[in-house]
Amino acid sequence: KLESPLRQEHGITLFEYLVLSHLSEAPGRKLRMGELAFLASGSLSRLSNVIKRCEQRGWVVRTPDPADGRYTLAELTDAGFGIVDRAAPTHLRTVRGLVLDSLNTA
């Protein structure tokens, strides 16, 4: 139920939204892939597939971590930030409708 409005209105999955959202809140809009997988509650394999799709859409770029080349950084582009910015109200409205409003009526 959380995913349907994001798919219908913005063409993204809930997991894609979570990934992009975490990147939007990170310093410099970038995170190591492992940390991002942890924050989004997904496996590194799942994240890699999602990041690949996001790269193809121009929302994310991957670069080696300059502090330690063994790691890869995912960085949110301006286009990716635009998607998060437009999708956030939809996600918030859905969460309110499914979770918070039901608590208020209880």
Pair 34, 46: CB distance under 8 Å: no
CATH of domain 3-98: 1.10.10.10
* Single-letter code of the amino acid located at 28: G
Q: What is the pLDDT along the chain (106 residues), one digit of tens a residue?
A: 778 899 999 999 999 999 999 999 999 999 999 999 999 999 999 999 999 999 999 999 999 999 999 999 999 999 999 999 999 999 998 888 887 777 766 5
Grouping H, G, I as helix, E, B as strand and the rest as coil, residue 12 is coil
pLDDT at 86: 96
* Single-letter code of the amino acid located at 76: L
Q: pTM higher than 0.85, yes or no?
A: yes
List Cα–Cα distances, 22 to 49, 74, 76, 101, 106, in angstroms.
Answer: 17, 11, 9, 25, 32
pLDDT at 47: 97
